[in-house]
Amino acid sequence: MLELIVISTLNGVLFGMLLFLMASGLTVIFSMLGVLNFAHASFYMLGAFFGFQLSRWFGFWPALLVAPLLAGGLGAAVERFGLRQVHKNGHVAELLFTFGLAFVIEELVQIIWGKSPVDFRIPSVLDFPAFTIFSTNYPAYKMFMLLVSIAIFVGLLLVLKKSRVGLIVQAALTHPHMVGHLGHNVGRIFMLVFGVGTALAAVAGVIAGPALVTQSNMAALLGPILFVVVVVGGLGSLPGAFIGSLLIGLVQTFAVSMNGSLEGAFGPLSPTYAQSWLADIWSVTIAQIAPIMPYMLLVLILIFRPMGLLGTRET
Amino acid sequence: MLEVKDLHAYYGKSHILQGVDLRIDAGEVVSLLGRNGVGRSTTVKAIMGEVPPQGTIRFKGADIAGKPSFQIAQLGLGYVPEHRDIFPGLTVRQNLMLGIKDPRKPGKWRLNDMLDMFPNLAARADTDAGVMSGGEKQMLTMCRTLMGDPELIMIDEPTEGLAPLIVHQVGNLIAEIARRGVAILLVEQKLSIAMRISHRVYVMGHGRIVFEGTPANLTSNDAVRREWLEV
């Protein structure tokens, strides 16, 4: 049991930190531009595929550096030449633009790399067990993922809280017009934030690619969870995104490793109900409903605290 | 320094500014007076590009009509909006630092000057600016814009909703700004400060300028005061 708790906590925190790499960008972009970027997870996927391709040509380490830069550059271009033009037509147009962009990226990825998973492998230097807890070998690569995520989290926090650019970004989150009146180029700040946000998602893609599956549906699989994270944490709140990411990461990891069911807790159903539909619900394990748990949490949050855990907006 | 000719602006289909003409010379203090809703705030918003302007707006010889507000600010035109948009979550000191346009070029208003001038701000320099009183926020927004070293500062309704003692302090700051040679366009409803410090005053009515003259001219012109200013 202790082993299960330790391993699941490690995995949960790891998954949570990966989610945070993406959710942080998504939520900051939302705060600043007022747009929920439906294509955000697509940049995570682009990160993974760019990482795969570049690691084939130049090795994993250059890929880890260059792939996020490429994806971030693409993200900045999307803001500058796409969203900024569409902005004149209102938020619905912007939303539809990002929605369409997600499909375009998915199709392009399929055209270039196909629909099947690509062979994106863990670099051999990290392909060993980092330590053994009880009887489980914990892979060094997972520890590397965790460390990269934490390093970026700390770096992001330092830049936001201590640097001048970070202060301008924080100010522009709530009062973009005033920031402009003080002589700061808000358009360039928006582009920078979009670029950095998408680059962070791409970092998550490069490091998660070898550990998970690098496939053209990975954006579609992860995107909805990402929205759960930012809505649960509170749209536009960076601390909220952090808590939301860890919460969803832990909930998902613990849920898949638990085999408890109502049957296990309260014993078998009485023969009267054994043949009814109730029997199915009675014997469903927590692991079986794990995939829908984040969405159940989403529904509960939307009913009882629509602004999210740390959000301030009602909508 | 600032020259506005035949300025028009619209909110949707409402024709708010219907041909505003005004001029402010270097170092001059000019007040824009008038009742609520006559277009005083819209005039400064249109100058800053926050409301799309139609007409001629020239600042230091450059055409700034419809330019992005950051470019207008970079030219040396400061704007303190009516809503005292301080940045919550940032400290008083951080708010002031963001007023600086280029940290490599220090201007004539330094952080320490500001904190010396305003003991209230100094005492709260490292607290969240979002929790300050209305008067302190007003001081902070004016000081923040001054940190960018403007040659002309447009201040929209600085005394709105403030206690009389604070109104007096705000008046003193505006006088100090003028004493340091910064031109001021003061948008006000209260006559007292405007009449005390202005070189010239404009009175607005129905989206255009209906009077221009010195404070003494306005004091002696009962007809204008009755028709366009008194409630």
Tokens representing B142 are 């004016």
Tell me the C-alpha distance between A313 and A310, whole Å.
9
How many Å lie between the alpha carbon of B5 and the closest alpha carbon of chain A? 22
- pLDDT (tens digit per residue) in B29-66: 999 998 888 889 999 999 999 899 999 999 998 999 98
pLDDT value, residue B19: 86
Nearest CA in chain A to B98: A168
Tell me the chain B residues in contact with residue A167 when contact means C-beta distances shorter than 8 Å: 90, 94, 97-98
Residue B85 to chain A, least CA–CA distance (Å): 7
Suggest the residue from A174, A182, A185, A312 to mutate for an interface test with chain B (most B CBs closer than 10 A).
Answer: A182
Question: Which candidate, B2, B30, B4, B13, places its Cα nearest to that of B198?
Answer: B30
Answer whether A182 sits within 8 Å of B88, measured CB to CB.
Answer: no
Q: Give the range with max mean pLDDT: A71-85, A149-163, B91-105, B130-144.
A: A71-85
Note whether B69 contacts A171, CB cutoff 8 Å.
no
Asked if the C-beta of B111 comes within 8 angstroms of chain A's C-beta atoms, the answer is no
ipTM (interface predicted TM): 0.89
Is the CB of B89 less than 8 angstroms away from the CB of A184? no
Nearest to B50 among A168, A177, A182 (CB): A177
Confirm or reject contact between B165 and chain A (CB < 8 A).
no
For residue B69, which amino acid is it? S
Determine whether the interchain pair B79/A170 forms a contact, defined as Cβ–Cβ distance below 8 Å. no
Residue B80 to residues A179, B137, B140, Cα–Cα distance (Å): 11, 11, 10
Residue A299 has what pLDDT? 93
- Chain A residues with CB under 8 Å of B87 CB are 170-171, 174-175, 178
CA distance A87 to chain B (A): 15
Using CB atoms, pick whichever of A171, A180, A185 lies closest to residue B87: A171
B98 vs A171, A177, A187: nearest CB: A171
Share of chain B above pLDDT 90, in %: 36
Q: Which residues of A touch B94 (CB under 8 A)?
A: 167
Q: What is the pLDDT of residue A315?
A: 44
Q: Which residues of A touch B (CB under 8 A)?
A: 164, 167-168, 170-171, 174-175, 177-187
Q: Which of B36, B29, B68 is nearest to B155 (CA)?
A: B29
Q: Provide the residue count of chain A.
A: 315
Q: Which pLDDT score is estimated for A313? A: 58
Checking if the pLDDT of B228 tops 90, the result is no
Residue B203's H or E segment, with its range, is strand B200-205
Q: For A151-206, how does the pLDDT look when each residue is reduced to its tens digit (9 = 90+)?
A: 988 998 899 888 999 999 989 888 888 999 999 998 999 999 999 999 999 999 99
pLDDT of residue A200: 93
Write out residues in chain A with pLDDT < 50, as ranges: 314-315
For chain A, domain boundaries: 2-219
Q: Give the type of residue at B165.
A: L
Per-chain mean pLDDT for chain B:
88
pLDDT grade for B231, boundaries at 50, 70 and 90? low
Q: So what's the pLDDT on residue A282?
A: 81
pTM (predicted TM-score): 0.83
Mean pLDDT throughout B12-21?
A: 87
Rounded Cα–Cα distance for residues B188 and B35 (Å): 9
**Angle formed by the axes of helices A186-211 and A60-77, nearest 10°:** 140
Report in angstroms the alpha-carbon separations of A117 from A46, A59, A114, A210, A214: 14, 19, 8, 11, 5
Chain B residues 2-61 with CB within 8 Å of chain A: 48, 50
Instruction: Assess B85–A contact: CB distance below 8 Å, yes or no.
Output: yes
The Cα–Cα gap between B71 and B85 comes to: 19
Choose the closest CB to B69 out of A164, A171, A181: A181
Which positions in chain B touch A168 (Cβ < 8 Å)? 98
The answer to whether A116 and A52 are in contact (CB under 8 A) is: no
CA distance B162 to chain A (A): 21
Contact A174 B89 (CB under 8 A): yes
